Amino acid sequence: MPTAMGTARLCSGYVKIFPRPGDDGSWMVSAMVWPQLAAALESDEPHVFRPVTAEYLGLFDLQAQRSRL
């Protein structure tokens, strides 16, 4: 796998997998892929991929924010 997009060939990509902060055992994936492949992965029905948000990372609790309003 290339380590920089400048060295990437037409049929290659870059994927980095690392554990999510916390103790729930889930993993995070960072990938550089073609736009069409990204769209296909995001539209997959099981929704394996989720957007990385502050709430997902556990930086703040959305329910606590709403209760103050």
pTM: 0.46
Within-domain flag for 21:
yes
Number of domains in the chain: 1
Domain of residue 44: give its range.
Answer: 14-68
pLDDT tens for each residue of 7-42: 555 556 678 888 877 777 888 888 888 888 888 888
Within-domain flag for 1:
no
Within-domain flag for 52:
yes
Within-domain flag for 61:
yes
Give the count of beta carbons closer than 10 Å to the beta carbon of residue 41: 13
Distance CA 67, CA 62 (A): 9
Within-domain flag for 63:
yes
Judged against a pLDDT cut of 50, whether residue 1 lies above it is answered with no
Distance CA 65, CA 37 (A): 35
Within-domain flag for 60:
yes
